[in-house]
Structure 1
Amino acid sequence: MDALWKNTTDLPSYESLKNNINVDVAIIGGGLAGILTAYKLKEKGINAAIFEAKEICSGTTGYTTAKISLAHGLIYNYLIDNFSLEKAKEYADYNKRAIKEFEDLINKENINCEFKKCSSFLYSTLYDYHLKEEYEAAIKCGIDCEFLDERKLPKRFKGAIKYTNQAKFNPLKFVKHIINGLKIYENTFIKEFNGDNKELTTDKGYKIKADKIVFACHYPFVNTPGYYFLRMHQERSYVLIAENTKKLKNVYLDVDDKSYSFRSYDKYLLFGGENHRTGENKEGDKYKLLREKLRTFDKDYKEVGQYSTQDCISIDKVPYIGLFSDSLKDVYVLTGFNKWGMTSSMLGSNIIADMISNGLDNKNSIFSPSRFDTKGIVKSAIKEGPYSIKGLSKEFLDIPNTELDKLPLGHGGVVKYNGKKVGVYKDESGKCFIVSTKCPHLGCELSWNPDEKSWDCPCHGSRFDYMGNIINDPSVENLEFIEKK
Structure 2
Amino acid sequence: MPASSASFWLASTEVSSFDKLTTDLTVDVAVVGGGITGISLAYLLAKEGKQVALLDAGRLLNGTTGNTTAKITAQHDLIYDELIHHIGEEKARLYYEANDEAIAFIRNTVLENKISCDFAEENAYIYTTAEANIAMIDKEWKAYEKLGIPGLRADRIPLPVDAKASIVMPNQARFHPLAYLKHLIKHFINNGGQIFEETTAMSINPGSPLTTVVTRDGTQVKCRDVVSCSHFPFYDVSGFYFARLYAERAYVLGVKLNGDYPGGMYLSADSPPRSIRSVSFNGEDLLLVGGERHKTGQGICTMKHYERLETFVRDTFGSCEIPYRWSAQDLTTLDKVPYIGHVVKNEPHAYIATGYRKWGMTSSTAAALLLKDMILGIDNRYEDLYTPSRFYADPSLKTFLVENADVAKHLINGKLEWVTREPEDVRPDEGAVVRVNGKRAGAYREADGTLYVVDTTCTHMGCEVQWNAGERTWDCPCHGSRFSFSGEVIEGPAKKSLKQIEY
TM-score by length of 2: 0.91
In 2 relative to 1, CA 83–408 (structure 1 residues): closer, same or farther, beyond 3 Å? same
User: Which deviates more from structure 2 when the two are superposed, residues 366-375 or residues 315-324?
Assistant: 366-375
SS of residue matched to 2:337? coil
> How big is the shift at 1:45?
2.0
Residue of structure 1 aligned with 2:458, choices 436, 439, 447? 439
2:291 is aligned to: 273
Change (3 A) 1:376 1:316: closer
Paired position in structure 2 for 1:157: 163
Contact 2:249/2:327 (8 A) holds in 1: yes
Partner of 2:80 in structure 1?
76
User: Residues 394-473 of structure 1 correspond to what in structure 2 (within 5 A)?
Assistant: 394-428=413-447, 430-473=449-492
Gap runs ≥5 in structure 1: none
- Matched with 1:189 is 200
Task: Provide the C-alpha distance between the structure 1 equivalents of 2:247 and 2:234, rounded to a whole number of angstroms.
Answer: 13
Aligned CA distance change for structure 1 residues 362 and 435 (closer, same or farther; 3 Å): farther
CA contact (8 A) 2:370 2:383 kept: no
Number of matched residues?
484
2:28 aligned counterpart, secondary structure: strand
Equivalence for 2:222: 209
Partner of 2:309: 290
Distance, in Å, in 1 between the alignment partners of 2:46 and 2:412 is: 48
Q: Which piece of structure 1 moves more, 361-370 or 323-332?
A: 361-370
Deviating more after overlay: 410-419 vs 331-340: 410-419
Partners in 1 of 2:405 and 2:253 — Cα distance? Answer: 33
> What CA deviation, in whole Å up to 9, does each residue of 1:377-429 have, x standing for no partner?
76554122123212332344333233334445533222222211111123445
Which deviates more, 248-257 or 195-204? 195-204
Name the counterpart of 1:388.
407
Question: Bigger CA drift: 407-416 or 119-128?
Answer: 407-416
User: Given the alignment, which residue of 20, 44, 47 partners 1:43?
Assistant: 47
Deviation larger for 280-289 or 462-471: 280-289
Q: Deviation at 1:464?
A: 0.6
1:362–1:320 CA distance, 2 compared to 1 (3 A): farther
Distance 1:359 1:244, change over 3 A: closer
Task: Write the letter of the residue equivalent to 2:56.
Answer: E
Q: Root-mean-square deviation (CA), in Å? A: 2.1
Query: Residues 178 and 151 (structure 1 numbering): CA distance in 2 closer, same or farther, change over 3 Å?
Result: closer
What one-letter code is carried by the residue in structure 2 that aligns with 1:36?
A: S
**Match of residue 221 from structure 1:** 234
Task: Give deviations 1:134-166, integer Å, cap 9, x for gaps.
Answer: 111012111111111249885511111111010
- List gaps (5 residues or longer) in structure 2: none
Match of residue 177 from structure 2: 171
CA distance in 1, matches of 2:424, 2:23: 48
Q: Does 1:340 align with 2:359?
A: yes
> How far is 1:206 from its partner?
0.8
- Alpha-carbon distance between aligned partners in 1 of 2:318 and 2:158, rounded to the nearest angstrom: 24
Identity %: 35
* Cα distance in structure 2, aligned partners of 1:481 and 1:153: 49
Looking at structure 1, the residues matched to 378 and 453 of structure 2 have their Cα atoms a distance apart, in angstroms, of: 50
Question: In the alignment, which residue of structure 2 is the partner of 1:129?
Answer: 135
Indicate if the aligned counterparts of 1:248 and 1:263 stay in contact, CA closer than 8 A: no
Q: Which residue of 2 aligns with 1:65?
A: 69
- In the alignment, the residues of structure 1 paired with residue 372 and residue 456 of structure 2 have an alpha-carbon distance, to the nearest angstrom, of 40
Contact 2:161 2:316 in 1 (8 A): no
Distance 2:234 2:377 in 1: 27
1:234 to 247, 263, 282: 247
Is the contact between residue 463 and residue 472 of structure 1 (CA under 8 Å) also seen in structure 2?
A: yes
Q: CA deviation at 1:364?
A: 6.0
- Separation of aligned partners in 1, 2:158 and 2:496: 53
The residue type equivalent to 1:160 in the other structure is S
- Equivalent of 1:20 in 18, 24, 31: 24
Q: Bigger CA drift: 433-442 or 255-264?
A: 255-264
Retained in 1: the 8 A contact 2:202–2:235?
Answer: no
Please give the residue correspondences for 1:362-373 in structure 2 after superposition, counting only pairs within 5 Å.
Answer: 365-372=384-391
The reply on whether 1:143 has 2:156 as its aligned counterpart is: no
